[in-house]
Amino acid sequence: MRKSSLFPTVFAVLATLAILQSCKPKNAGSAVNSDAASKAYVAPGKYDAFYNFVSGGFSGQMSVYGLPSGRLLRVIPVFSVDPEKGYGYSEESKPMLNTSHGFVPWDDLHHTELSQTNGEIDGRWIFANANNTPRVARVDLGSFRTSEIIELPNSAGNHSSPFITENTEYVVAGTRFSVPPDDVNGDVPINTYKQNFKGYISFISVGKDDGKMDIAFQIQCPGVNFDLSHAGKGKSHGWFFFSCYNTEQANTLLEVNASQRDKDFIMAVNWKKAEEYLKAGKGKKVATKYAHNTYSEKSHTAVSEIKTEVTVLDAKELKDICYFIPCPKSPHGCDVDPTGEYIVGSGKLAALIPVFSFDKIQKAIADKAFEGDYDGIPVIKYDAALHGEVKKPGLGPLHTEFDGKGNAYTTFFVSSEVVKWNIQDLKVVDRVPTYYSVGHLCVPGGDSKKPNPKYVIAYNKITKDRYLPTGPELAQSAQLYDISGDKMQLILDFPTIGEPHYAQAVAADVIKSRSIKFYKIDENANPYVAKGEGETKVVRDGNKVHVYMTCIRSHFSPDNIEGVRVGDEVYFHVTNLEQDWDVPHGFAIKGANNAELLIMPGETQTLKWVAEKAGIFPFYCTDFCSALHQEMQGYLRVSPAGSSLPISFSTGKNIPKPDSTNAK
């Protein structure tokens, strides 16, 4: 199906794009009206109306902003270690970053997706994808912490992820890179892509009440690049849609070789059908290895388990699960409108936006209106699936969100703008410039059944001259537009952490009341907890020394420890005894090779520290907790390896006699 006649066209398009990359909208300064400031203003002491959960891209983290102020409220570490919070450094949190490749302290987080009930955001969890070492995480919105991470077998570059079904039955993830499956010898020539490389789509089930994830099944598909996806909803509930590119199955210089075909595909997946096959025992159990990590709020400890099997359904063998729909040209975003009827594909290299109709897709399948097959999967005729095309909307369409009032908002990377268009008649109704080269966008609830169309936020790839210069790299920028009127109005720029890709936003009320204030000390099930100063102790176990320590304003117990020897591994198990909101204590000790601990009230966290030389090592609280925070400190004495000094520890007792100057 290679159309070599397209070659010159491709180069022409690429050349045009290259020139257009440098285009930027004029009059950057004058684009803001005078009433903008008041629209984004949230008075000191007042709360924002929305939470905005923004992916951190190559920071591996997720940040939480208030809207409309753009105030940064929190950075939640998900796939990358965070020394500020001890995430990935404390013994309790290290297992969260375990994978089949061992400890992986970094990843690239592109998409966030809030859990839904009946197609509406329910405020319980937010999911995120790791792009590099394929994983999906679940963040609990009571604690704003990562509660669970599951690795994806048979995958590489988990990009079309983590999108959910309307009752959070599944979190779905498609592989970006097709690769040889895990259970075959992957040591094959790279140019045997067509024969040996396969694309896998993972369906991760989510526990109704506890949110626990499990890979229910995977679907083996032809080897292409899966880029983005969204679930059907309402009438199309039971279906999932994925954009795919590189249907040329190129394995080198994709910028040219994967841009040859005039159309790539949207893949429609009938996951209810897949469930039937699964029930009928048509899934194959396949050997693999992947990590499943869970964090317990009771023991404040993560556990990592390595799983060795996954169930795979073969899309080629098992008919009626997957269909391809031609979509011009290297589609990126794949977005479903609130009614579930319209599926918008955004061809990065296309000069139009195709909008597909779910009803027409169903009819085309029933009528077998196929133009052939691709690697054993039926390809529906373009015209048979098409609702219509938005003509000349802009250049380089990427992503679309919806307002629930019949409008769609699409970002254009090359022409740097957000374009509002009507889903029914496909006419453009408004356009605003972005500064610059917008990627994703977000309307609160904009991919759910019930958008809250107050704002659209544009997440830009390039910042250039928008902020004070900070050397070669500038903070990426987000821009907030009021969309409550007919015209979009820019009201605020705000910097983001890492590189933002997708984001989600929701009315603050949906989440605010779930937020927990502290952990109950009585319920602390950490094996090393000390629930009061009476339970503190220091215990030697061979060359390991366990310090059961507590902290409360403004001291540690114990704060004098002796009898540690060079070569000992010291584990500081620090329990924060506070039972009050917003009173964490920190713990740091000189020479530690990892990071601090930041311990929430009622919680126990452990820092490993190795005694390398004899001497006195101070430790202290790193979080300003009271007027006497600076007094919150202690000393650890390390003696030479052969020392016979016994372990001793105390708080408030180890006081020198009045005239002794050199106590031994």
- Min dist. Cβ of residue 21 to ligand RUQ (A): 14
Cα gap 144→638, rounded to integer Å: 38
With CB under 6 A as the contact rule, which of the stretches 134-142, 153-161, 169-177, 623-631 interacts with ligand CUA?
A: 623-631
Considering only residues 533 through 592, tell me which ones interact with ligand CUA, judged by CB under 6 A. 554, 585
- Which of ligand CUA, ligand RUQ, none lies near 621, with the C-beta cut-off 5 to 8 A by kind? ligand CUA
CA dihedral 465, 466, 472, 475 (to 10 degrees): -160
Binders in 222-241 for ligand RUQ, by CB under 6 A: 228
* Lookup: tokens for 471: 């050397």
Please report, as residue ranges, which positions from 68 to 127 form the binding site for ligand RUQ (by CB under 6 A): 110-111
Cis preceding linkage at 453, omega within 30? no
Among all chains, which residue has been given the structure tokens 């992957």?
Answer: 186
User: Of 130 and 600, which CB lies nearer to ligand RUQ in the complex structure?
Assistant: 130
> Is residue 502 close enough to count as binding ligand RUQ by CB under 6 A?
yes
Among 164, 325, 621, 638, binds ligand CUA (CB under 6 A): 621
* 8 A C-beta contact, residue 57 and residue 498: yes
Provide the mask over 376-405, with x wherever binding to ligand RUQ is found by CB under 6 A and - wherever it is not.
----------------------xx------
Where are any strands of DSSP class E within 85-165? Answer: 98-99, 102-103, 109-117, 120-130, 135-140, 145-151, 158-164
Q: Return all residues near 383 (Cβ < 8 A) that are at least 6 apart.
A: none
Instruction: List the single partner that 624 binds among ligand RUQ, ligand CUA, none, CB under 5 to 8 Å by kind.
Output: ligand CUA
Shortest CB 127 distance to ligand RUQ, Å: 14
Instruction: Decide which of ligand RUQ, ligand CUA, none touches 502; Cβ closer than 5 to 8 Å per partner kind.
Output: ligand RUQ
Smallest distance, Å, CB 448 to ligand RUQ?
17
* Residue 198: contacted member of ligand RUQ, ligand CUA, none (CB under 5 to 8 Å, by partner type): none
Q: Which does 149 bind (CB under 5 to 8 A by kind): ligand RUQ, ligand CUA, none?
A: none
Q: 3-state DSSP call for residue 126?
A: strand
**DSSP strand pairing (633-639 vs 560-565):** parallel
Residue 332 in contact with ligand RUQ, rule: CB under 6 A: yes
111 binds, among ligand CUA, ligand RUQ, none (CB under 5 to 8 A by kind): ligand RUQ
Query: What minimum distance in Å lies between the beta carbon of 182 and ligand CUA?
Result: 47
Beta strands 428-433 and 585-589 are: unpaired
Q: What mask of x and - would describe binding to ligand RUQ in positions 428 to 447, judged by CB under 6 A?
A: -----------xx-------
Residue from 391, 424, 624, 641 touching ligand CUA (CB under 6 A): that is 624
Q: Is 651 in the site for ligand CUA (CB under 6 A)?
A: no
Q: How far is the CB of 475 from ligand RUQ (least distance, A)?
A: 17
Nearer to ligand CUA, 103 or 624 (CB): 624
Query: What does 7-58 look like in DSSP terms, one character per residue?
Result: HHHHHHHHHHHHHHTT---S-TGGGS-TTHHHHH---TTPPPSEEEEEE-BT
Residue 623 interacts with, from ligand RUQ, ligand CUA, none (CB under 5-8 Å by kind)? ligand CUA
The option from ligand RUQ, ligand CUA, none interacting with 13 (CB < 5 to 8 A, set by class) reads: none
For 148-216, the DSSP string reads EEEE-TT-SSEEEEEEE-TTSSEEEEEESS-B--TTS-----GGGHHHH-EEEEEEEEE-TTT--EEEE
Q: Shortest distance, CB of residue 526 to ligand CUA, whole angstroms?
A: 19
Residue 302 half-sphere exposure toward CB, CA atoms < 13 A:
26
Angstrom distances, CA of residue 163 to CA of 130, 143, 558 = 13, 22, 48
Among 431, 501, 555, 565, binds ligand RUQ (CB under 6 A): 501
Using the minimum distance from each CB to ligand CUA, give the nearer residue, 172 or 574.
Answer: 574
Q: Out of 625, 634, 636, 649, name the contact with ligand CUA by CB under 6 A.
A: 625
Six-digit token pair at 408? 């769609």
The backbone torsions φ and ψ at residue 263, rounded to the nearest 5 degrees and listed phi first, read -135, 140
Tell me the CB-side half-sphere exposure of residue 473, using CA atoms within 13 A.
Answer: 6
The CA-to-CA distance between both ends of the chain, in Å, stands at 86
Residue 583 Ramachandran class (φ > 0 left, ψ -120 to 50 alpha, else beta): beta
Q: Which is nearer to ligand RUQ, 267 or 638 (CB)?
A: 267
For the chain, how many helices (H) and strands (E)? 8, 45
Taking a C-beta distance cutoff of 8 angstroms, is the pair 288, 153 a contact?
yes
Residues that bind ligand CUA (CB under 6 A): 554, 585, 621, 623-625, 629, 632
Residues that bind ligand RUQ (CB under 6 A): 110-111, 159, 228, 332, 398-399, 439-440, 501-502
